[in-house]
Chains A and B, each alone.
Chain A
């Protein structure tokens, strides 16, 4: 996921650079997951997850950028691709470079960010044989989604908590990038635990991965924060994560400050993006059902990590049976269904159904209340 490389001698680099067509020929390899590292079922499932994430991001990006999506996201992807080639010397001939997930999330928002990183990974996989084709799902899920989403969530949370200002944006970017890299490492460890092809103690993998990536995260954090700071200093309006920070333009009319009315050219929501949410709902539901039903078919064969540790260390001897132990779905299985895997899958499907119903009920209730409080139909529309 990251590499350190010896700095090439500058003069040599200059000569080759001046007489070659570059960009794509000066591609620095970052280490992506190859084929054969994660087993086939897990790769397939992560592929589905990645496809879902890209679908959601496509809709989200289109909502934010409407028909400007293709050129803007494309150019930002090219930027990410290029900026990964920028060497940041550390010491003694080693240098690191940006991974870019956190930076993309903060600069252009989570949806466009996921899209850009995914496109970069896709092109790296097809054109540069960097990262296996069957591991594309793993790579996109871990490096595209987890990094970007974690970074953006941390960033938004911190910006809300910290006092308004440029400095807090920089601090928030630092922490977001710092956490996003080990989070991706953890996500990879989790995938490796589920579907790794070699039986390495998961504790060792986790320690090694998180340890190394904490270090990488520090570098990533420093570069991200500095870069976001540099952009904010010049074009704060371009930083998606700092949108709330802009001062409203005010006019002094007869000695009193008056807010300038919103510009006429303010973008109205595109018609195309306002299609029904039904497809999104249905696809989400189907995905959860598939994951719950089909994947637990595989997963239920292995005990839960915590249960395993508990069993090994004899912790669970004292565990009292849960109050719901007699319920028809106890221990993730359906009573009276003998096949352990089938029953696990069935329980998963039922669980998803119950969760969806409960969640929808809560959502519906909240929405109704809000509609009553605001007493304006547009407010409901914009929820």
Chain B
């Protein structure tokens, strides 16, 4: 299971950003995205500055641009949606190369593209510099309900196991000559899903019994409390504060 704990977006490293306590990173990421979303869309230069800020963070974290850009492809479905907007939106229209487009729709498309891209880039940077376990510790430290964090940690911990089970079922199906080609084969696939549910649930029961036999009574002991010094907090919060300055300027100008 050793390899399973690193997720696809994580990039191992020893940069100052990697070393920051996870809850400061989570708080900074969230604050930054909130600031970006509340910026007026007419202040186009502000979004450029945000991108520069993120670029600086990526540089400090030693995340290569190629890595970041490749991960940004995740948002392609939305680009398609944003492209549609100028055609369907209401309001005043303008002619671009002989095509009538809605001004409001153009702004809307720009808004979604800019904010969505910045949001995805921020999340990618967070995920690239923070391990799974750290993310959970950070969420716990940020006072998410402990039960919710426990559920999330079980999901992460057994995600690999359950997917592996799904893969074994697929191999079993294929080794018997089965190939899903259309709706007619959904019954077989649904039986796979059903079996997977039963196995997951029963595994959950076994996990619970194993935990009870080790003294579990509803709460997990906190054995690795993460703490952050004032310097680490201020280092992490530099990003959202810089963004806030840009945002205020964006409203003022």
Q: Which residues of the other chain, B, contact A25 by a CB distance below 8 angstroms?
A: 7-8
B152 near A: Cβ within 8 Å? yes
Measured CB to CB, the closest approach of chain A to B91, in angstroms, equals: 6
Within residues 116 to 148 of chain B, which ones have a CB less than 8 A from any CB in chain A? 116, 118-120, 122-124, 126-127, 132, 135, 145, 147-148
CA distance A237 to B74 in the complex (A): 40
Q: Are A234 and B194 in contact (CB under 8 A)?
A: yes
Residue B253 interfacial (CB < 8 Å): no
The answer to whether B116 and A34 touch across the interface, beta carbons within 8 angstroms, is yes
Q: Which of A269-305 contact B (CB under 8 A)?
A: 272
Bits for B153-172, please: 1 = Cβ < 8 Å to A, else 0. 11111111111111100000
Q: Chain B CB within 10 Å — which of A22, A34, A272 has the most?
A: A34
Known contacts: A22-B160, A197-B112. The answer to whether A58 contacts B147 by CB under 8 A is yes
Q: If the complex has contacts A128-B127, A227-B190, A234-B194, are A198 and B182 also in contact, measured as CB distance less than 8 A?
A: no
User: How distant is the Cα of A377 from the Cα of B212 in the complex, in angstroms?
Assistant: 34
User: Per-residue 0/1 for A202-237: is the Cβ within 8 Å of any B Cβ (1 yes, 0 no)?
Assistant: 001000000000000000001100111111011100
Whether B203 and A75, one on each chain, are in contact in the complex, defined by CB atoms closer than 8 angstroms, is yes
**Interface readout for A39-67 with B: 1 if CB under 8 Å, 0 if not?**
11001000000000011001000100011
- CB neighbours (8 Å) of B124 from chain A are 129
For B112, give its contact among A36, A78, A83 (CB under 8 Å). A36
Residues of B within 8 Å of A119, CB to CB, are: 148, 151-152, 155
Do A83 and B196 form a contact, CB below 8 Å, given A88-B186, A133-B30?
A: yes
Residue in chain A with minimal CB distance to B153: A74
User: A91's contact among B71, B155, B183, B198, by CB below 8 Å, is which?
Assistant: B183
Q: Which of A17-36 contact B (CB under 8 A)?
A: 17, 21-27, 29, 31, 34-36
How far is A72 from B167 in the complex, measured between Cα atoms in Å? Answer: 21
A127 touching B194 in the complex, CB below 8 Å, given contacts A29-B77, A34-B112, A197-B111:
no
B41 CB within 8 Å of chain A: yes
Of B29, B104, B111, B155, the residue contacting A120 (CB under 8 A) is B155
- In the complex, are the beta carbons of B116 and A72 less than 8 A apart? no
* A223 / chain B contacts, CB cutoff of 8 Å: 186, 189-190, 193
Chain B, Cβ-Cβ closest to A233: B194
Residue pair B119, A200 in contact (C-beta under 8 Å): no
Closest to B206 in A: A71
Q: What is the bound-complex CA distance between A70 and B186, given in angstroms? A: 31
Say which size band chain A's interface belongs to: 35 or more
Chain B proximity of A230: nearest CB distance (Å): 3
User: Nearest-CB distance from B101 to chain A (Å)?
Assistant: 12
Q: Which residues of A contact B179 (CB under 8 A)?
A: 10
**Distance in Å: Cβ of A59 to nearest Cβ of chain B:** 10
Does A343 count as interface, using CB distance less than 8 angstroms?
A: no
When C-beta atoms are compared, the residue in chain B nearest to A13 turns out to be B170
In the complex, the 3 A-B pairs of residues with the closest C-beta atoms, listed nearest first: A74-B154, A36-B115, A198-B108
Residues of chain A touching chain B, judged by Cβ–Cβ distance below 8 Å, are 3, 10, 17, 21-27, 29, 31, 34-37, 39-40, 43, 54-55, 58, 62, 66-79, 81-83, 85-91, 98, 107-108, 115-116, 119-120, 122-123, 125-130, 132-134, 197-201, 204, 222-223, 226-231, 233-235, 238, 272
A77-B151, A86-B166, A89-B182 are known contacts; what are 19 more A-B pairs with Cβ within 8 Å?
A24-B4, A34-B116, A35-B33, A35-B118, A74-B155, A74-B158, A82-B163, A83-B193, A107-B197, A115-B151, A128-B123, A132-B116, A198-B104, A198-B107, A199-B108, A201-B88, A226-B186, A230-B190, A230-B191
Interface residues of B, Cβ cutoff 8 Å to A: 3-4, 6-9, 26, 29-30, 33-34, 36-38, 41, 71, 74-75, 77-78, 85, 88-91, 104-105, 107-109, 111-112, 114-116, 118-120, 122-124, 126-127, 132, 135, 145, 147-148, 150-167, 179-183, 185-187, 189-198, 200-201, 203-205, 207-208, 211-212, 216-218, 220
